[in-house]
Amino acid sequence: MCFHDYDDSHYKGVRENTVKYSIECLGDSVYLLVAGLAGSGKTTLVANYSKWLRKNGHNVRVVNLDPGAETVPYKPDFDVRNLFTVVDIMKKYNLGPNGALLKASELLLERSDEILADPAFKPYDAIVFIDTPGQLEVFMFRTEGRKFVRKLLRRAPTIAIFLVDAQLCNNVGDFVSSWTLSLFLQIRLDIPVIPVINKIDLVGEEERKLIETIVYEPETLKEVIVKKLHGLGGRGLALPGLGHAGAAPSGRTPGRAGPRRPSPG
């Protein structure tokens, strides 16, 4: 999926199809976690997407779960910063910024019952956007984030939008690395994850064509990866949904790793 800010009929259709998938299937009763690497545009997307949905007649609420955000371009229905901020935690526990963020994830789970009791999280009558912390590891690697999502799931359907910054997709390797994070997030949280290419209007024509080709014709990705893996000592790569990719030197069967056994005698 590709989002950008200007009005283009092709991408407008992509955006509306995303809405159709997430809303017509689930109705106005879903938690939408917005995740991605720092600077990928999560908070801006939450502001613009929620505004667009309201304009189109949907009941929407917005939650800010980023205790490190200095400002947000929307009026949150719930703001975790009213309970604690990264700066407060740094002072109280004598921690640095990273340590304070990890402590914040612990506090998020410890106070989850109090947080989820807020009317902003009331299920089954609205699309609830949840703006997640700027550091993806809070939800991707910390058990606290996963447990918090489990609590959301017990209340209403929960899906995630994973933002990929188009400016970090300048070549196939960068694209695959970024895209793989969305798959890993889906495995870790065990919820549907919709990867979205953001800031597509900020890249050059060549990068844009590469992104469009891979998104809309994923089979081409296999061909490119096979070429890039040529000469890697015969170690193949099994790509989910794309089959086996890899090149083997002469005298070795593709996919066989390690030295050949000597013949008897």
* DSSP state for residue 202 in the 8-state scheme: G
In terms of domains, do 104 and 184 share one?
Answer: yes
Assess if residue 31 is contained within a domain. Answer: yes
In terms of domains, do 238 and 125 share one?
Answer: no
Closest CA to 130 of 141, 142, 118, 218: 118
In terms of domains, do 229 and 176 share one?
Answer: no
Q: What is the mean pLDDT of residues 147-165?
A: 94
In terms of domains, do 184 and 201 share one?
Answer: yes
Assess if residue 2 is contained within a domain. Answer: no
Position 25, amino acid:
C
- Cα 37 to its chain centre, rounded Å, is 8
Assess if residue 244 is contained within a domain. Answer: yes
The 3-state DSSP composition of the chain as helix, strand, coil percent (nearest 5) reads 45, 15, 40
Token representation of residue 151? 């609590």
CA distance 135 to 66: 9
CATH number of the domain that 185 lies in? 3.40.50.300
The residue among 87 and 251 whose pLDDT is bigger is 87
CA distance 184 to 41: 20
- Residues in CB range of 227: below 8 A, 6 or more apart: none
Number of domains in the chain: 2
Is residue 194 pLDDT above 50, yes or no? yes
**Could you count the other beta carbons within 10 Å of the beta carbon of residue 192?**
15
User: Which residues are 127's β-sheet partners?
Assistant: 30, 60
| Alpha-helix runs per DSSP H in the chain | 9-19, 42-55, 86-93, 97-110, 112-116, 137-140, 143-153, 172-189, 205-216, 219-229
Residue 251 belongs to what domain range? Answer: 219-265
CB-CB contact of 245 with 237 (8 Å): yes
Give the range among 17-21, 38-42, 203-207 with minimum mean pLDDT: 17-21
pTM for this entry: 0.75
Question: What pLDDT digit, counting tens, does each position of 84-137 carry?
Answer: 999 999 999 999 998 999 999 999 999 999 999 999 999 888 999 999 987 887
